[in-house]
Amino acid sequence: MADSNPDDNECSLCTTQCSNNSICENCKSHVCQNCLVICKTSFSQVLNRDDFNVCTICSSYITTLEDYIIKEHIGWCQLTPRGSKWFRLSGCEKWANNQKLNISHYDLGSLNLEDSDIIYKDVETGRTDPSIFSWEVKETLYRVITPSFIQDIKKVLAAYCIRNTKVGYCQGMNIVTVWLLLFFDHNTAFLMLCFLVEKLLLPDFYNGSKHGNSLNGFYVESTVIAGILEFVIPEVKNCNMPTGEFSDFFSLQHLMQLFVNTVDMESSVFLWEKICEDGSISLIRGIVSLVLISEKAVNKGMHPILILKILNENRIAPQLKETYAKVVPEITDSRVARLRQLAKDLRAKQWMQCEALVVNKLENISNFSKEEIEELQIRFNKLLKDLRSGRSNEKISRRRPTVQLPKHLLNKMEDYQGSMAIGISKDEFLKILSEISPSLAQRGEEIFIKFDEDASGYLDFRELTIAMSVLSKGTFEDKLRIFFDAYDTEHCGYLGTAELNTLIEQILLPLSDSIQNNPESEELRKNIINVHLKMSQLCEESSGKVFFNDFVTGIKSDMLLYSVIGDYIGNDRPQVSRVFNAMNLGTFTEQDFDEHDGRCKMCTLL
């Protein structure tokens, strides 16, 4: 047989042989001249060209997309009808109105260096450019992009990081922000981002590595998804990897980017509609639906990364809507709530005896030495046992798994079942706080909430260690941060005039009592008046919104303020020994330390 002409290729659409075929510049398929369309797109403008060669199928997709953009009134950094609907439907509008929240409130705030560096890397260096998105979002962005594209993204992200320093910036937020700015203007995009992170998602969903428990909220949700997958798709247990690992691989991008750029645009819009309508449970329902759509590939043992790629390349919206409706009765609020609490308890238990890795992590995020962490860990475990055994008549919460976790996770959970509680309750924490830092006890509930990052209702060992680290060995700024946040009752990232006045009154209370006991103390009276004047001046200079950096600068620049506030927060007094004494557990034997050696079975989960 003679060699075939290398120029003769088969058209991928009509399957005819032709010698002058071209390549579709969108899908890269070989097509003949009859199946090639020359069209002008916004992508052509980016390439400084007047035309763009695409196949007839891609041309029809582009036409459909253009019609969709017009129908939805999509533009860059503009409030669209769909954006307005999501704003109302999610509850964000009502919440923002009650908070009197606006992006302009953060114009005078300063972004910390860590968040500033990461935002720069993710936005200024191309990680948020249109080219990194799947082609529908990319084509949409190229059609609506404006010269302020990068600055608009940074404006929203910076405002959020200034508002919520506890969370700060986390990768994935940049992708979500781009999506928001396709449907919202600056302010409503900012409000939606605040609402998503602070009200709709798990409280530590976007927590980064600085807390020592990176993306804890994600791992909780992934564990829930793993449990539900084994319930609705028993065959998933036959895959080449444990269900928990499958869920982590499959869920990470979907969850951190909230389905943006992980499925086709119509599917993303549908899932966002459900997020706004149903809340965070829609994330779990959505991911389980996507796995069900890919059930054949799952049963064949295909790696979840390959399944994700196939999903991203196909238009699955009709199938997704149908599947999502079917899983709703199986994935209920009560079932998810129980699984979430089990997952939180599981992760809390990992910090109780997992010595080598826990100590290493806590050394990096606390002010404690290795030896101090080890002793605190033992005291923590003995305190829990003591509380449990000493209160036999008190009801202790014991959660029963009505829906099973994946077997490998459930086995590890059962390894630690017993009479031991999981963490320190709010009441117990308040008792410890009153011993370590009595001046902060009045705001103990707010401080407890600050350190209860996953809103579990208790402080696990990691959370308690971070709290004790700051209270006993923290710098002046560390302790002042706790103090500042405790009076930021609206969690808006700054103190208003009323909050600042309340703070000052509390600080000056000991001085006021001294005046009452000594009416002739003219010097104290002058000091009180001066403190009021200086803090009022600081508030006026900040237009009624005092951010933490301005608060610290104002206090440290004045010896009177520094002295009064330093005395109040006990800057020089608390020591590590006071932490141990506050836990009031007596002495420890060598056996107490030895019984924890080599007992950890959960390092791999961390």
Pairing of strands 494-495, 546-547: antiparallel
CA distance 222 to 245: 9
pLDDT at 186: 96
* Residue 402: pLDDT band with limits 50, 70, 90: very low
**Percentage of the chain with pLDDT > 70?**
80
* Residue 441: pLDDT band with limits 50, 70, 90: confident
Instruction: Please say which residue of 51, 71, 91 terminates a domain.
Output: 71
Which of 421, 221, 251, 451 has its CA nearest to residue 341?
221
* Residue 96: pLDDT band with limits 50, 70, 90: very high
Task: Report the mean per-residue pLDDT for the chain.
Answer: 80
Q: What CATH number did the domain enclosing 95 receive?
A: 1.10.8
Structure tokens at 276: 């706004």
Convert the pLDDT of each residue in 290-346 to its tens digit: 999 998 888 888 889 999 999 988 889 999 999 999 999 999 999 999 999 888 888
Beta strands in 186-247 (DSSP E): none
Residue 383 lies in a domain: yes
Which of 343, 461, 349 has its CA nearest to residue 416?
349
Instruction: Please say which residue of 285, 310, 331 terminates a domain.
Output: 331
pLDDT at 41: 58
pLDDT at 377: 83
pLDDT at 137: 92
Instruction: Tell me, yes or no, whether 153 and 289 share the same domain.
Output: no
Residue 398 lies in a domain: no
CA distance 127 to 141: 14
Instruction: Please say which residue of 303, 331, 359 terminates a domain.
Output: 331
596 class by beta-carbon count within 10 Å (0-12 exposed, 13-18 middle, 19+ buried): middle
User: What is the span of the domain harbouring residue 51?
Assistant: 9-71
Q: What H or E segment, with its residue span, contains residue 165?
A: none
Instruction: Tell me, yes or no, whether 383 and 519 share the same domain.
Output: yes
pLDDT at 602 exceeding the cut of 60: no
Instruction: Tell me, yes or no, whether 341 and 437 share the same domain.
Output: yes
pLDDT at 590: 41
Quick one: average pLDDT of 528-536?
A: 76
Question: What's the pTM?
Answer: 0.81
CA distance 192 to 163: 13
Contact 249, 305 (CB under 8 A): yes
Convert the pLDDT of each residue in 223-264 to its tens digit: 999 999 988 887 777 777 888 889 999 999 999 999 999 999
Convert the pLDDT of each residue in 540-581 to its tens digit: 777 778 898 888 888 888 787 788 777 777 665 545 555 666
Q: What are 39's strand-pairing partners?
A: 52
CA distance 39 to 79: 29
Query: Pick the residue with more confidence: 363 or 273?
Result: 273
Q: What CATH number did the domain enclosing 64 receive?
A: 3.30.40
CA distance 295 to 279: 25
Instruction: Tell me, yes or no, whether 476 and 542 share the same domain.
Output: yes
Per-position b or e across 473-502, b if 16+ CB within 10 A of its CB? bbebebbbbbbbbbbbeeebbbbbeebbee
Q: What CATH number did the domain enclosing 317 receive?
A: 1.10.472.80
Residue 488 lies in a domain: yes
Residue 77 lies in a domain: yes
pLDDT at 37 exceeding the cut of 60: yes
Q: What CATH number did the domain enclosing 457 receive?
A: 1.10.238.10
pLDDT at 105: 92
Residue 2 lies in a domain: no
Residue 90 lies in a domain: yes
Contact 311, 125 (CB under 8 A): no
Instruction: Tell me, yes or no, whether 62 and 88 share the same domain.
Output: no
Residue 210 lies in a domain: no
Instruction: Tell me, yes or no, whether 245 and 366 share the same domain.
Output: no
Query: Pick the residue with more confidence: 535 or 450?
Result: 450
Report how many domains make up the chain. 4
Convert the pLDDT of each residue in 49-86 to its tens digit: 556 778 888 888 888 888 999 999 999 999 999 999 99
Residue type, 40: K
Instruction: Tell me, yes or no, whether 39 and 88 share the same domain.
Output: no
Cβ atoms within 10 A of the Cβ of 16, count? 12
Instruction: Tell me, yes or no, whether 169 and 308 share the same domain.
Output: no
CA distance 195 to 205: 13
pLDDT at 1 exceeding the cut of 50: no
* Residue pointed to by tokens 């410890």: 432
pLDDT at 45 exceeding the cut of 60: no
Instruction: Tell me, yes or no, whether 536 and 489 share the same domain.
Output: yes
Instruction: Tell me, yes or no, whether 105 and 178 share the same domain.
Output: yes
Residue 594 lies in a domain: no
Instruction: Tell me, yes or no, whether 240 and 323 share the same domain.
Output: yes
Lowest mean pLDDT among 6-15, 58-67, 147-156, 386-395: 386-395
Instruction: Tell me, yes or no, whether 419 and 306 share the same domain.
Output: no
Quick one: average pLDDT of 97-126?
A: 91
pLDDT at 8 exceeding the cut of 60: no
* Residue 604: pLDDT band with limits 50, 70, 90: very low
